[in-house]
Amino acid sequence: MRSILAVLGLVFLMMSCSNSTDALKPEENIILDNPSSLSYLALGDSYTIGESVTEDLRWPVQLSKKLRDRGVGINNPRIIAKTGWTTDNLLNAMDANVDNEKYDLVSVLIGVNNQYQNKSIEEYETDLNTIFSEAIGFSKIGKEGVFVVSIPDYGATPFGASNAEEIGREIAEFNAVLQKVANQYELSFYNITPISKMAKSDKSLVAIDGLHPSGKMYNLWVNNFIDEVLKKL
C-alpha cells in the first residue's frame, strides 16, 4: 500500500531514527522552570516535537507563549515525543519518563505513525485507552486538565500528494477512533484536521521537509483551540 511513497518513506524513517539517543533532551532545554508557574506535559510524535521547525515554533511551545501573553503564568512544556513514534512507543516513553509527576495541563496527539506503518486500528484503540488513562493520572485535576488534538492529514502535503485520497481516508478512520475514545474518557477533543488540509493550496503551511507542518500551520492550530484551553486554567 505504501509502494508509491517508498523512497520518501525511507527518508522519513531515517529521520525518525537519526537522533534516538537524544530523543528526550532538546525539549528539556527550553522549559521555563518557575516553581510558581503552571506546568504542562505534551505527549505525542513528530507533530508535537515539531520536526523540521525550530523549538520556539513547536505548537505546544507556541501555546505556552500565547497563554502567557494572556496573563497565564505557565512554563514551557515538558515534551515527551519523537518523530516516528507510534502509540506503543509513546507508552514506553511515558512509563520510563513520567513517574509520579503531576501537571496542570496535559495534551495528547498520537496516531499518524500507526496509520503510516499500517498498524491495525484495533491496536490503536487499545493503546489509546491506556494512554488516556495514564494522561488523566498525570493531570493534577484529572480529565479536566487533559486535551486531545486530532491527527493532521499529511495527504495535503507534497510528501503525500501522490496518495492523497487513500491517506485522507485512513487518517479520517483513525481520527474517528481517536475522538470516540477521547469522548469515552470525557476529554476535550480539538479537531485541527480541516486546518491541515489547507496545506494543499498554501505551501507556506508546510515545513521545508515537505511533510510536516510549518510554524505558521502550528500557529493556526493553537489559535483554533487556545480559548478552550484557557478555560481549563
Domains, the chain: 3-232 (3.40.50.1110)
pLDDT at 88 over 60: yes
Q: What is the distance, to the nearest Å, from the Cα of residue 94 to the centroid of all Cα atoms in its chain?
A: 14
Helix (H, G, I), strand (E, B) or coil at 26: helix
Contact 5, 158 (CB under 8 A): no
User: CA 111, CA 170: separation in Å to the nearest integer?
Assistant: 11
Contact 13, 159 (CB under 8 A): no
Q: Please report the pLDDT score of residue 34 as a whole number.
A: 72
Q: Please report the pLDDT score of residue 100 as a whole number.
A: 84
DSSP-based helix, strand, coil % in the chain, nearest 5? 60, 10, 30
User: CA 134, CA 100: separation in Å to the nearest integer?
Assistant: 11
Instruction: Look at the chain and count its residues.
Output: 233
φ/ψ bin of 186: left (φ > 0), alpha (ψ from -120 to 50), beta (otherwise): left
Type of residue found at 159: F
**Mean pLDDT, rounded, of the chain:** 89
Q: Please report the pLDDT score of residue 33 as a whole number.
A: 64
Give 35's pLDDT tier (boundaries 50, 70, 90): low
pLDDT at 153 over 50: yes
Eight-class DSSP state of 76: P
Of the ranges 8-17, 25-34, 179-188, which is most confident? 179-188
Q: Please report the pLDDT score of residue 129 as a whole number.
A: 98
Give 36's pLDDT tier (boundaries 50, 70, 90): low
Strands 146-149 and 78-81: unpaired
Q: Which residues contact 92 (CB under 8 A, 6 or more apart)?
A: none
Percent above pLDDT 70 for the chain: 85
Helix (H, G, I), strand (E, B) or coil at 28: helix
pLDDT at 93 over 70: yes
Predicted confidence (pLDDT) per residue in 167-224, tens digit: 999 999 999 999 999 999 999 999 999 999 999 999 999 999 999 999 999 999 999 9
Of 34 and 45, the one with more pLDDT: 45
Q: What is the pTM of this model?
A: 0.87
List the grid coordinates of 91: 507508552
User: CA 101, CA 87: separation in Å to the nearest integer?
Assistant: 21
